[in-house]
Amino acid sequence: MAQLPKLEERTLLRSFERALDFAPDKVALADRDASSTYAQAFQRSLSLAGALARLGCRENSPAALMLDNSLDFVHAWLGMGLTGVVEVPVNTAYKGDFLAHILRDSGVETLLAEAHYLDRVKAIAGQVPSLKKVVVRGSLEGVSAAGLRLLPWAELEDSAPATPARREPGDLFAYMYTSGTTGLSKGVLIPEAQAYTYASREDQDLPTHEDRILVALPLFHLAGQWYGVYQSIIHRASCVVEPGFSPSAYWEVVRRQGITVTVMLGAMAEMLQQQPASPEDRDNPLRLAVMAPLASDFATFERRFGLRVAAVYGMSEIGAVMNGPPGTVVGGEAGFARDGYELRLVGPDGTDVGEGEVGELWVRPLVPHTVMAGYHNLPEATAAATQGGWIHTGDAFRRDAEGRYFFTDRMKDALRRRGENISSFEVEKVVNSHPSVLESAVVGVPSALGEDEIKAVIVLRAGFGADPVGITEHLIERLPYFMVPRYIAFVPALPKTPTQKVQKNLLRSQDTADEIWDREAAGIILKRSGRAERREEAK
């Protein structure tokens, strides 16, 4: 197993140069319509960068991408990265104030966008005085936008290639906007070396240059862009970009494209598990699925599809600070600490917690420029999150005797009931294991005892009716008595940010559903022994 290169080698240009030296004629990138070798991808990316330079996109200045997954997205991003233009990827679900905030806060003058997102851009253009030009991928026929210069994607074609910029590891690479669940998104300032270190698995055995890596996650997200495309370049592998994730078509893509490695969300694995079983399930070339978080039954997933699963944990502010080898994974783990980072689990009093105890994860880089440089235009938020060289993640973890880390909750979402600390994340996993439940969110609501009562807000699968008693009985069999929710609410959908994070602050009110079922009012009382007693029966 190799190690990551020296700090000065951790830039996009140096990783591309190593790939070009290794195999310039090897297929680097492919989608459903086209492919390009490493040499072709390098030239194509620099050609797009040359055209963007003519439009005023300069080194160290930001430009935004609001594009669907495609090689055009990849080449545009690579061209920007190779010439030092700071990328601002925009979630394609953004609209209204979400979209206006990111474009305004980043100060972009140029946006590359799909034609079918133009109406959203036009609607908020008056709120973004810096935005002047929109390069449109798709038809511009009959389209205009007051105050904006609209240019066809063809303007970027066949331009003289730009000269790559020899960047330093600490130079600004991207603004990655977090999806705030209670406030405006913050622009995380990403140095070159942080993006590289997040993307690299050089401290693990896979992938290698022989692999074909599938990206089915959106490229505006760092898991798709960096842990997919950038990782492929670092490892001199081949990368296949899909428009999106389709549970019914996933294994056909894997077989047809010869996919051997991928990264996926745990929810994607859950959806694949729900597909009808087939004798061909194990007949596929995929050998590694890096998963964050782990699926609830990843071991069955491994056996059914004949592959290995590995854990990883990261976030925009800190990069990927945990990973681990496949084949040794334990349920619920997020991996081991990576070399180059110091990790602490800290209690409310600011002291380290013991083995098996829950504390907030603090991260300190041992290699410069491998975590964020701060939040864009937010010095107070930067100071609050980075104290004494430690980044306070807001995530709660515990660590076992072997050094594995287990995510338990967001600190602000943790609950306390009957003197016990409770992870909403862990309760949600058990709620979601009921066959009628599509997804859920667990929150605390005020208790007469001054602690939390637990409420589960549930979205049912199609075809299932609300059965709070049946769900509660399911939970009683699987949870400690103090973790079983008192309240159950059924809703058509959970409120989410455009990046699909549940807005739990909106769920804590008791007015989130037409009807809330109260377990105790229904007469189901839980005893410390774990037994349930019905009041009607007890009389």
**Each residue's pLDDT expressed in tens, for the chain with a length of 539 residues:** 579 999 999 999 999 999 999 999 999 999 999 999 999 999 999 999 999 999 999 999 999 999 999 999 999 999 999 999 999 999 888 888 889 999 999 999 999 999 999 999 999 999 999 999 999 999 999 888 889 999 999 999 889 999 999 999 999 999 999 866 556 789 999 999 999 999 999 999 999 999 999 999 999 999 999 999 999 999 999 999 999 999 999 999 999 999 999 999 988 998 899 899 999 999 999 999 999 989 888 999 999 999 999 999 999 999 999 999 998 899 999 999 999 999 999 999 999 999 999 999 999 999 999 999 999 999 999 999 999 999 999 999 999 999 999 998 888 877 877 667 787 888 898 899 999 999 999 998 877 665 678 999 999 999 999 999 999 999 998 888 888 999 999 999 999 877 678 888 888 765 655 679 999 999 998 876 555 666 554 33
Task: Enter the tokens of residue 359.
Answer: 């504390």
Beta strand 149-152 with 133-137 is: parallel
The number of residues in the chain equals: 539
Nearest Cα to 131, choosing from 94, 101, 154? 101
Alpha-carbon distance of 179 to 99, in angstroms, equals 12
* Radius of gyration of the CA atoms of the chain, in A: 24
Are the beta carbons of 397 and 405 closer than 8 angstroms? yes
Q: Is the backbone of residue 305 left (phi > 0), alpha (psi -120 to 50) or beta?
A: alpha
Nearest Cα to 131, choosing from 63, 75, 72, 189? 63
Alpha-carbon distance of 18 to 109, in angstroms, equals 33
Taking 3-state DSSP, the helix, strand and coil percentages for the chain, each rounded to the nearest 5, stand at 30, 30, 45
Alpha-carbon distance of 477 to 457, in angstroms, equals 19
Backbone angles phi, psi at 418, to 5 degrees: 55, 35
Are the beta carbons of 201 and 235 closer than 8 angstroms? yes
Residue with tokens 């920007």: 80
Alpha-carbon distance of 439 to 308, in angstroms, equals 25
Task: Enter the tokens of residue 392.
Answer: 């306070």
| Order of all β-strands in the sheet with 149-152 | 149-152, 133-137, 110-114, 62-66, 86-89, 172-177, 187-191, 374-375
Cβ-in-10-Å burial (0-12, 13-18, 19+) of 471 comes to buried
Are the beta carbons of 208 and 23 closer than 8 angstroms? no
**Would you kindly state where each structural domain of the chain is located, as residue ranges?**
417-538
DSSP secondary structure string for all residues of 350-373? SSB--TT--EEEEEEESSTTSS--
What pLDDT is recorded for position 538?
35
CB atoms within 10 A of CB 400: 12
User: Bridge partners of 114?
Assistant: 137
Residue 92 Cα distances to 69, 112, 115, angstroms: 10, 12, 12
Alpha-carbon distance of 372 to 506, in angstroms, equals 29
Task: Enter the tokens of residue 456.
Answer: 């589960």
Alpha-carbon distance of 213 to 484, in angstroms, equals 41
What pLDDT is recorded for position 511?
62
What is the dihedral sign for C-alpha 299, 305, 310, 316? negative
Output the pTM of the full model. 0.85
Q: What is the homologous superfamily of the domain 417-538 according to CATH?
A: ANL, C-terminal domain (3.30.300.30)
- Side-chain half-sphere of 498: how many Cα atoms within 13 Å? 21
Beta strand 212-215 with 238-241 is: parallel
